[in-house]
Amino acid sequence: MRDSIPEGGTGIVRFHITLADEPGADARALADVVEMWVRAINLGFFGDARISVSEPIEARGRSVVGGMRCERVPSAAFQLLARMVSRFSRVRARVESIDIWREEGHRSLVSRDPVEVPPLPETFPFPVDYPNDFHADVRVEVGFRSPLTPPEKDTIFDALSVWDALVEALADEERWAEVSDYETRLMSRSIVEHVVSGYFAGPEGFDLVVHMGLRLHQRLNIERLTME
């Protein structure tokens, strides 16, 4: 599979991802991967980046095509999209090619660099506890100052499910086929707990959670974020 990844920034980005002509190829399932990535951007996993769909994300035959209007989307986000597609290729159906390019100048660049999550601010508006060490079982607890309404709870549960997909792609490639278990629950009306059994990413996965928390804090007042 060849990868063409654009530099980060602002502007229109288009993509064309094609599955190999093999039994079981499901372009709609591949489109779901791209849509999950779009949600990740708008949930704040990559800082203040924003993205909107300029052309519908569509499955056409063996291909997935579409266009996105990007605002301050870093290169790391596109690198992670490539890893999400590569993981799909490894565990679901083989991807023949992935092309992502900036509309202006039709710039299409190849990058195999490690995913570098955008830097976090030096201080946070709420306490953040990182794990003391990294292991396969991870627990994330988000405490809020006020009880959550059902729609707010659904938003947080959805954001944590998106994080699961991101850290699966961040894992070492030899572990992509391994199955992880996830559980999200309310510990109280104002505390959400998320448990991952089979966390194979590095510390950058926790930085993504903090970025998401900072965006979420603009709407819901977070009291504490604990990762262990």
Summarised one tens digit per residue, pLDDT across range 20-69 is 999 878 999 999 999 999 999 999 999 999 999 999 999 999 999 999 99
Number of domains in the chain: 2
Is the pLDDT confidence value at 11 over 90?
Answer: no
Same domain, 94 and 142: no
Average pLDDT, rounded, for the chain? 90
Summarised one tens digit per residue, pLDDT across range 158-191 is 999 999 999 999 999 999 999 899 999 999 999 9
For residues 4-25, average pLDDT = 79
Same domain, 90 and 138: no
Same domain, 186 and 148: yes
Task: Give the domain CATH number at 213.
Answer: 3.30.70
Length reported for the chain: 228
Same domain, 19 and 97: yes
Domain that holds residue 133: 128-227
Same domain, 72 and 146: no
Predicted confidence at residue 89, as pLDDT, reads 94
Same domain, 7 and 45: yes
Q: Which residues contact 39 (CB under 8 A, 6 or more apart)?
A: 158, 162
Domain boundary among 106, 137, 170: 106
Strands 2-4 and 95-102, sheet pairing: parallel
Look up residue 155 and give its amino acid.
Answer: T
Summarised one tens digit per residue, pLDDT across range 52-111 is 999 999 999 999 999 999 999 988 898 899 899 999 999 999 999 988 888 776 555 446
Same domain, 145 and 72: no
Closest to 3 in 3D by CA, of 92, 93, 103, 80:
80
